[in-house]
């Protein structure tokens, strides 16, 4: 399973995540790497500013990027090649106005 499949299963959106949602969960795509390989890995947790218009999935992007990196990536890889998931906090607190 990769992030696009994970996202579609979680949201019911068949055509998968937007590019910014993929980058938030999987990091920047390395030069020459295929989508399947890129979307199968996680990334380190970093502070990012998301400037996206209303209705384009910011909540789903944040929550699913956290779930992907903290829960899904470690469980999919019996011996993870990286410890990226350890940089993601154990708890997600989401506040909105």
Averages of pLDDT over each 10 residues, the chain, 97 residues:
93 93 91 86 85 92 92 70 69 78
Please choose, from the candidates 56, 71, 69, 58, the residue with its C-alpha nearest in 3D space to the C-alpha of residue 97: 58
**Whole-model pTM?**
0.82
Q: Supply the pLDDT for residue 89.
A: 83
**Residue 66: partners with Cβ closer than 8 Å, 6 or more residues away:** 88, 89, 92
Segments making up each domain of the chain, as ranges: 3-87
């Amino acid at each position: 399973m990769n992030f696009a499949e994970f996202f579609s299963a979680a949201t019911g959106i068949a055509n998968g995540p937007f590019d910014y949602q993929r980058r938030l969960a999987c990091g920047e795509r390395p030069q020459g790497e295929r989508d399947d390989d890129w979307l199968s890995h996680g990334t380190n947790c970093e502070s990012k500013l998301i400037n996206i218009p209303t209705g384009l999935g910011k909540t789903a992007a944040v929550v699913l990027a956290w779930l992907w990196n903290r829960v899904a990536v470690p469980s999919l890889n019996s011996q993870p090649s990286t410890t990226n998931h350890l940089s993601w906090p154990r708890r997600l607190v989401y506040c909105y106005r």
